[in-house]
Amino acid sequence: MRVWRTLLAVVLVASAAPTVLLGVLVVRDRGGVDAPVIAAALASAALAAGLSAIAARRITRPIAECVRGALEIARGRFGHQVRVFARNEIGDLAYTFNHMSRQLESYDAENHRLIAALERGYLETIRSLASAIDAKDPYTRGHADRVAALAVEIGRELGLPAEALSALEYAGILHDVGKIGIPDAILAKKTPLSSDEMALVRGHPRIGAEIVGGVAFLAAAVPAIRSHHERWDGAGYPDQLAGEAIPLVARIVSAADVWDACTSDRPYQKALGPADAAAVVGTLRGTQLDPSVHDALLAVLERRGLLRAATTAA
């Protein structure tokens, strides 16, 4: 707008100057000003103003269009094209801008493709690591993938954003990564663990968090890895956190972990059916499990048809 006003003033002065000069000469020649001269001067001034406004607009409108296009690019809307058809330097600027915008769109698409491929590679790597942990204990084979899938569904039920769902997937897969240092004999032991053995097992959340703590893309999953054995009532481990002091991702992974533990064969118990497992999990609501997360878990299980099927069978 400031450029438009400046151009208007410059063009107006340039176009009005001859009229003013002519008027001065007429006044000097005739010794005064009559009505026709005044009318001609006003008409000339009006024409000069109109032509000046048109000229200024023709120059500033393409500039304004380029500015709007630049703002769209700044907002990340790559590929935006400006509609400027002037056959002058401003038209050349618009053509160059449009070419740049298309190139940025192409680079952005390629970056998204590479990032997606990189994330898939990361995911496959951590799945391989989880499989190595599962191989130590045949009773938990597939446990990590099941916990990850269920945790993501619970997160969706709670309306969490995509970033949190990714953290839940990574945390679900790696929540037991700290067990990699626990002897197989302890993991597969069918009799009660000694106090020393229990202390060793209870150290796996802390160890797991330390293992992945230096990996930048897993940073959001670390709280769940460390705190998935914390309890809503504060009686968990390793930090005895309680209530909402426990990270939400950890509360969600905990609920998914409990459900899978109830419905899988373990050295110390046979798998429970959905109805019996739901009953056991229900007793943990408000003590071990966050009530809202427990309710979201049940909603997911109902959507899967597990609880309805169990109810029908009963």
Element (H, E) at 191: none
Domain(s) labelled CATH 1.10.3210.10 in the chain stretch across: 137-313
pTM equals 0.64
User: Does residue 96 surpass a pLDDT of 50?
Assistant: yes
- At residue 290, does pLDDT exceed 80? yes
The pLDDT of residue 279 is 93
Catalytic residue check, 136? no
Nearest-10 Cα torsion for 74, 76, 79, 83:
-40
Arithmetic mean of pLDDT over the chain: 80
User: What phi-psi label fits residue 34: left (phi over 0), alpha (psi between -120 and 50 degrees) or beta?
Assistant: beta
Q: Find where tokens 């990850």 sit.
A: 148
By the 10 Å C-beta count (0-12 exposed, 13-18 middle, 19+ buried), 185 is classed as exposed
Across the range 4-24, mean pLDDT stands at 59
Residue 253's contacts (CB-CB under 8 Å, 6 or more residues apart) are 147, 151, 168, 171, 172, 175, 224, 228
> Is 3.20.20.80 the CATH classification of the domain at 137-313?
no
Q: How many helical (H) and strand (E) elements, i.e. helices and strands, does the chain have?
A: 13, 0
Which of 63 and 299 is assigned the larger pLDDT? 299
Query: pLDDT-derived band of residue 169, with 50, 70 and 90 as boundaries?
Result: very high
Decide if pLDDT at 226 tops 80: yes
pLDDT of residue 265: 76
Better-predicted residue by pLDDT, 189 or 197? 197
Contact in structure between 267 and 188 (CB atoms under 8 Å):
yes
Pick the catalytic residue: 179, 189, 190, 270? 179
